[in-house]
Homo-oligomer: A and B are copies of this chain.
Amino acid sequence: MSTITPPANPEADPRVKAVFDDIRATRKSDFINNMWLWLAFDPDLLEQTWRDVKTVMATPSALDPLVKEMLYIAVSVSNGCGYCAHSHTAAARAKGMTDAEHADLLRVISLAARTNQLATALQVPVDAAFDRTS
């Protein structure tokens, strides 16, 4: 059940085909997951989304690729996005996440959610020592 109809033959559109080809080349895999098939209903949105994902996730940067996937999982779970939890856990696995790392990730994000509630419930004032403004 979805809120849009994904195109039956998305690669008939050359803009979609170009994005899909780049996804396959970047990931060195023929698999195009549903997120991209669905976004293909609007080639402009597809291009913009893929460009962002490629820039941030598939380009070498300060953080390790696996760390970036785990951060992605942390946000996706906090936002309750089931699709994203699935796709980025699979991506983290593909980048080598072990069971022990997965369990550790779960420990940290569930602890964070717990103490977030406490700080918000108590409305704890921010310590001056944490301010970096000046």
Q: Which residues of A contact B (CB under 8 A)?
A: 1-6, 31, 33-35, 38-39, 41-42, 44-45, 48-49, 52-53, 55-57, 61-63, 67-68, 70-90, 98-134
Contacts of A83 in B (CB 8 A): 119-120, 124-126
Contact of A120 among B81, B99, B129 (CB under 8 A): B81
Contacts of A67 in B (CB 8 A): 67, 70
B5 and A127 form a contact (CB under 8 A): no
Contacts of A118 in B (CB 8 A): 35, 39, 45, 49, 106, 110
Interface centre among A35, A44, A84 (most CB of B within 10 A): A84
Contact of A101 among B63, B81, B82, B114 (CB under 8 A): B63
B62 and A104 form a contact (CB under 8 A): yes
Contacts of A2 in B (CB 8 A): 122-125, 131-133
List 18 interface pairs A-B (beta carbons < 8 Å), by A numbering: A1-B128, A2-B123, A2-B131, A2-B133, A3-B85, A5-B133, A42-B106, A45-B118, A62-B98, A68-B108, A78-B78, A79-B80, A82-B126, A83-B119, A84-B116, A90-B130, A106-B118, A110-B115
